Structure formats: C-alpha cells, structure tokens
Amino acid sequence: MQRLNPWISGAALALTLVVAYTGCALIFVTYPNASVLFMNALFHGLDFQTLQVTPGAFSLTGFGVVVVVWGLVGFLVGVLYGGFFNVLSRDVAARSRL
C-alpha cells in the first residue's frame, strides 16, 4: 500500500481549510443577509439573525488571525492523519502477508 508523506498531507489540509474559510468569509461580507438566511436553512430553522454581526465589525486583523489558526490546525491534523495512515496501513499490510 502506498504511504503518505505527512508533511504534504498537512500542507494540503492547511491550504484547503484556508481557501474554504476565505471563500466563506468573502460570501459573508458580500452577502450578509443571504448568509444568515442560508445558515437558518442549514440548521433546520434555528434563528441566526440574533447573532448577526453589526456592519463594519468584520476586520482584516480578525480574518488574518483566524486564517493563521485554521492553517496551523489543518497542518497539524494533516500531519497526524498522514502519520496514522502510514502506521495503520503498515499494520494491515503485515497482517495480509500472514
């Protein structure tokens, strides 16, 4: 079974999370009311309008902090995933030879 490079797995997951969060933030900033209506529908009618951010409360600093955190979390989870995958697949390969 092919092994995964944990560092590449970590980088790929980190990049995926950063791109997804950036897209979500752009949609939220561009269409705040539609975003809240979508969240209401996504969570079976739970009212997110009471949690709606006041205009201008979204900042690039806050966005940057979250992007860095998501990037670090994604990288660490991806590295763990790659490492665990390699350990578990090695165990399966060893058992299949028996």
- Give the pLDDT confidence score for residue 93 in this predicted structure: 65
18, 70 Cβ separation under 8 angstroms:
yes
With residue 67 as reference, give the H or E element that holds it. helix 60-96
One digit per residue, the tens of pLDDT, for the chain of length 98 reads 789 999 999 999 999 999 999 999 999 889 988 988 898 999 998 888 887 667 677 889 999 999 999 999 999 999 999 999 999 988 666 666 66
Question: What was the pLDDT predicted at 81?
Answer: 97
Q: Provide the pLDDT for residue 97.
A: 67
What is residue 17's predicted lDDT score, i.e. its pLDDT? 98
Q: Are 2 and 93 in contact (CB under 8 A)?
A: no
The C-alpha atoms of residue 47 and residue 42 are separated, in whole angstroms, by 11
Other Cβ atoms within 10 Å of 82 Cβ, number: 20
What pLDDT does residue 67 have?
97
Long-range CB contact pairs, 84-88, < 8 A, 24+: 85/3, 85/4, 85/9, 86/3, 86/4, 86/6
